[in-house]
Amino acid sequence: MKQLKYLFFPILMIALAALNSCGNIKNSKYITIGMVDGWAEDVAMTHVAKAILDQQGYHVIIQKASTDMILASMNNEDTDLFMGVWLPYTHAKKLAKFPGLIHIGTNYDNGRIGLVVPEYVPIKSIEDLNQHQEQFSHRIIGIEKGAGLTTGTDKAIIDYKLDYKQINSSTIAMITELQNAIQRKQWIVVTGWQPHWMFGKMKLKFLDDPKKIFGEAEQIKTYARKSFGTDHPELAAFFSKLHFDDETMSDLLIQMEHSKNKEATAQKWVEEHTELVNTWLDKK
């Protein structure tokens, strides 16, 4: 019995130490960032943040999931950050479900979502779509179900009384179908957003949205779990300064689009933009 007793206490101490270590993980150098894979700007910004923080001695873990899952995980204090919140329109309703999440910074100011067609398609407005149903095969090519852009498109179909069906699969599938249509000079309308590399690679245009279903200019923001600022005030300060203008965002997205190794490309981009990165880190 005594031997069992002596064995029990070391095991108990190890277990308690492990639990204590898990409890302090939020105060450690381990940082978790949620990311929606397929969103070009979110993937690019997240990998750049990871490259910078890795250099600062942090261990950054990227968690790939949908927007809803990432927000819920942050609300449960399981994920630290998400850099892909579009406001004041796209993600407003999703974010409202989690009032405890905190806004840390604005990453980009000139975001836009809506319906997009190739430049050679001679229409200007969403209102024109019903006059050309046959050319578009009554279809709007969308992205993932559950995305804010997808919800906005469903509303546009109703409010504009469009005789169209939104076809949802994935961002990659949407872009592939768009590229194939452009090669054949076919008419196609897709759900799109800026910033995105496809606007640099293909000649595209947004359709006017007189009913403002998709809102106007949007900002892309970073949100965090409620206690992140208390646990990591130095990182809250970093993310409050991290910001891309149109030129730097375009440069980053083009490099990332051609990359087969996002992590290596982000590291290279950080090295090429030392002066900008130092302002984010508050280094002189």
How far are the Cα atoms of 57, 175, 193 from residue 93, in angstroms, in the given order?
Answer: 36, 26, 18
Say if residues 77 and 225 touch (Cβ distance below 8 Å).
yes
Q: Which of 25, 220, 185 is nearest to 108 (CA)?
A: 220
Question: What pLDDT score was predicted for residue 38?
Answer: 82
Question: What pLDDT score was predicted for residue 27?
Answer: 57
pTM comes to 0.77
Among the residue ranges 64-73, 118-127, 173-182, 275-284, the one predicted with the least confidence is 275-284
Question: What pLDDT score was predicted for residue 9?
Answer: 43
For residues 115 and 141, give the distance between their C-alpha atoms in angstroms, rounded to a whole number. 9
**15-111+218-280 against 112-206: fold identical:** yes
Question: What pLDDT score was predicted for residue 23?
Answer: 45
Phi and psi at 248, nearest 5°, equal: -70, -35
In the chain, % helix, strand, coil (3-state, to 5) comes to 45, 20, 30
Residue 90 CB coordination number (10 Å): 25
Rounded to 10 degrees, the C-alpha dihedral 148/249/278/26 comes to: 20
The fold of 15-111+218-280 is D-Maltodextrin-Binding Protein; domain 2 (3.40.190)
Look at 103 and 145; give whichever has higher pLDDT.
103
Q: Work out the widest C-alpha separation in the chain, in whole angstroms.
A: 88
Report domain extents, the chain.
Answer: 15-111+218-280, 112-206
The fold of 112-206 is D-Maltodextrin-Binding Protein; domain 2 (3.40.190)
Question: What pLDDT score was predicted for residue 82?
Answer: 98
Read off the pLDDT of residues 3-58 as tens digits, 9 standing for 90 and up: 444 444 444 444 444 444 444 445 579 999 999 998 899 999 999 999 999 999 99
